[in-house]
């Protein structure tokens, strides 16, 4: 969530610190996704964080989260897990992977 007085990049970096124990020196917006556009008005901003560094902020979760790191090319490994099924997160990973590939290959993205 974006707190009062925050912009989307500041909010994303704060959430990253609270949820993953990492901060980012660079965050860029990728796309806005919705869950059910004709049914709900909820939207999610997908951000790409890079140049990460360790930084933990206290979050509002009732228990500490477990952070697991996977190479972006291993999205299929994540999708094969029973506990990894949130569609917006999966879509965000594929979008981020494709953007990173296009930058690496010197192609235009989107």
Q: The domain at 1-59 falls in which architecture?
A: Alpha-Beta Complex (3.90)
pLDDT of residue 5: 94
Q: Please report the pLDDT score of residue 87 as a whole number.
A: 87
Q: Tell me the HSE value of 89 on the side-chain side, using a 13 A CA sphere.
A: 8
How do the domains of the chain map onto residue ranges? 1-59, 68-110
Q: What is the pLDDT of residues 32-71, one digit of tens each?
A: 988 777 777 788 899 999 999 999 898 777 777 788 888 9
Instruction: Tell me, yes or no, if the pTM score tops 0.75.
Output: yes
CA 36, 108, 96, 79 torsion: positive or negative? Answer: positive
Chain mean pLDDT for the chain: 88
């Amino acid at each position: 969530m974006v707190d009062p007085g925050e912009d989307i990049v500041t909010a994303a970096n704060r959430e990253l610190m609270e949820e993953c124990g990492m901060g980012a020196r660079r965050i860029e917006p990728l796309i806005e996704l919705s869950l059910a556009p004709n049914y709900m008005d909820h939207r999610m901003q997908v951000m790409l964080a890079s140049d990460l560094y360790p930084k933990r902020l206290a979050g509002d979760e009732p228990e500490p989260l477990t952070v697991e790191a996977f190479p972006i090319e291993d999205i299929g490994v994540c999708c094969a897990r029973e506990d990894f099924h949130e569609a917006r997160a999966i879509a965000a990973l594929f979008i981020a992977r494709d953007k990173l590939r296009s930058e690496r290959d010197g192609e235009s993205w989107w």
